[in-house]
Amino acid sequence: MELKEKLVSSFLAFENKGNIDLDSTVHAMRLKAIQNFEKEGFPTKRDEEWKYTSLNPLLKYDFSLFPNAEKSVGFKNVESYLINDIESYTLIFIDGVFSSFLSETTHEDCDVCVLSSALARPKYKMVIDNYLNTIANKNNSLSELNTAFVKEGAYINIPKNTIVPKPIQIINFSTGSEKEVLLQPRNLIVVGENSHVQIIERHQNLSKNTTLTNSVTEIFVHKRAIVDYYKIQNDTNESSLIDSTFISQKQQSVASVSTFSFGGKITRNNLEFYHEGENITSNLNGISILNEKQHVDNHTLVDHKSPNCESHELYKGIYADKSVGVFNGKVIVRQAAQKTNAFQQNNSILIDDGATINSKPQLEIFADDVKCSHGCTIGQLDESALFYMQSRGIPKKEAKALLLYAFANDVVEKIKIPQLKALISKLIAKKLNVQLGFEL
């Protein structure tokens, strides 16, 4: 059976499981979404937005849709994927099921808990009704697929005037309890006026089995709120990720998303920002360092709808072996969005002849009094720089790494959590297979 058929035919069974007493609006939402997905199906390369990324290699698997969670996962198994040297709230999901044992949640000054309970309890109904699936892009059939099976994920609700004292880590593990597994986490994050939160998200396969994760996150950033969101994508070569993140920002808010892609088989990031007020700042940063046959596709959208807002976008990529990178950065500046400042930059280095980058800046500007710029460079390692460094006694391998490190460094510098910055530096060094005697 094809994956699409399997998903559609499993929908009723999923709905009838009835293990959660859900509000009827959620059922209606799911039904609408599965109908949309059934109509649209998985995107193909004929679709302009998927021209450079094919899901075909993934769709051939016989994915288990409702895996049995591996119960024997202990802290020891997952420890190394957590940032342990800081205090944090943690939301840990094992094969799609929340692990209260491994997690640290709170309801004290804010809600850092799970969507399944928010969906089930009347107390949260208003938040769910007001926010859930309100900004997820309905033209994105994969996001619709996620909505059809919406059940579990992070539920984070920060009331106004709250500075969340420690970062929140959301980590989805798969254990290989099934040979091939499809996971569909759904995160809902609402950040009230003047509040501030830092979130780190990671997906990690603990086994050699095949995993496909179709994740959707909706983030609502109210007036003057600040959100720093970090995505660590360093999964195994058997793991693929389709991540769709939708962000709605109110006036004077600042939302920053940094995506670090070092691993995985196929990774597709849909990152969309929608401005709903003036003086908004959106920051989009990314580093991809790929080798072998890894494929990472960063598809971003910033929709400037109001005046006096800015967006800053900086994506860097280092591609070795036969890896493939895609960057598609769309910036819309609507007619009302006068005095917009929108900057976009995509720099890539191709290390080997077999590596590919497809870079496509896409600016649609309908306002006349705006500053918009985009730059795109694709280069190779500078041989003369390598000789220069070698002539000073730095071996070629270290010289290459130093150049690549320096190339990626301005994105690393933007990380606001020191321990995370150290981790990312470490992951980069590991990926480049070198040890440097200092931090840049």
Partner 1 sequence: MLKITDLHANINGKEILRGINLEIKAGEVHAIMGPNGSGKSTLASVIAGKEDFEVTEGSVVLNGEDLSEFAPEVRAHKGVFLSFQYPIEIPGVTVTNFIKTAINETRKAQGLEELPAKEMLQLIREKADLLEIDRKFLSRSLNEGFSGGEKKRNEIFQMAMLEPQLAILDETDSGLDIDALKVVANGVNKLKSEKNAVLLITHYQRLLDYIVPDFVHVLYNGKIVKSGGKELAYELEEKGYDWLK
C-alpha 24/C-alpha 31 separation (Å) is 11
> Binders of partner 1 among 349-388, rule CB under 8 A?
382, 384-385, 387-388
Contact with partner 1 (CB under 8 A): which of 398, 415, 423, 424?
A: 398
What's the closest the beta carbon of residue 410 comes to partner 1, in angstroms? Answer: 7
Question: Distance (Å, rounded) from C-alpha 32 to C-alpha 373?
Answer: 39
**For residue 64, how many other CB atoms are within 10 A of its CB?**
17
Listed in sequence order, the DSSP H helices in 279-395 are 383-390
* Radius of gyration for the chain, computed over Cα atoms and rounded to the nearest angstrom: 21
- Which residues make Cβ contacts (< 8 Å) with residue 68, sequence separation at least 6? 95, 177, 178
* Binding of partner 1 by 392 (CB under 8 A): yes
395 binding partner 1? (CB under 8 A):
yes
Tell the smallest beta-carbon distance from residue 285 to partner 1 (Å).
15
Backbone phi, psi, residue 384, to 5°: -70, -35
Residue whose CB is less far from partner 1, 403 or 429 = 403
Q: Does 402 bind partner 1 (CB under 8 A)?
A: yes
Amino acid at site 133:
N
Stretch that binds partner 1, among 137-145, 146-154, 295-303, 405-413 (CB under 8 A): 405-413
Measured between alpha carbons, how far is 231 from 202 in angstroms, rounded to an integer?
Answer: 6
Answer whether 70's CB lies under 8 Å from 177's CB: yes
Closest distance to partner 1 from the beta carbon of 395 (Å): 5
- Contacting residue, 127, 367, 394, 429, with partner 1 by CB under 8 A: 394
Q: Give yes or no for a contact between 337 and 306, defined as CB atoms under 8 angstroms apart.
A: yes
Candidate list 121, 123, 396, 416; residue touching partner 1; CB under 8 A: 396
Using CA atoms, how far apart are residues 224 and 195, in angstroms rounded to an integer? 7
Would you say 179 or 396 has its CB closer to partner 1?
396
Give 366 or 387: the residue with its C-beta nearer to partner 1: 387
DSSP letter at 81 equals G
Contacts of 409 (CB under 8 A, 6+ apart): 440
47 contacts partner 1 (rule: CB under 8 A):
no
Please identify which residue in 138, 338, 410, 422 interacts with partner 1, judged by CB under 8 A: 410
Quote the least distance from Cβ 381 to partner 1, whole Å: 12
Straight-line distance from the first to the last Cα atom of the chain, in angstroms, rounded to the nearest whole number: 52
Q: How many residues are present in the chain? A: 440
| Closest separation in Å from C-beta 379 to partner 1 | 12
Q: Is 345 in the site for partner 1 (CB under 8 A)?
A: no
User: At closest approach, how far in Å is the CB of 396 from partner 1?
Assistant: 7
18 near partner 1 (CB under 8 A): no
**Three-state DSSP class for residue 5:** helix
Nearer to partner 1, 118 or 389 (CB): 389
- We find the least distance from the C-beta atom of residue 405 to partner 1, in angstroms, to be 7
Smallest distance from partner 1 to CB 185, Å: 36
Query: How many of the chain's residues bind partner 1 (CB under 8 A)?
Result: 26
Q: Are 213 and 242 in contact (CB under 8 A)?
A: yes
- Which residue ranges make up the site for partner 1 (CB under 8 A)? 382, 384-385, 387-396, 398-399, 402-403, 405-407, 409-410, 436-438, 440
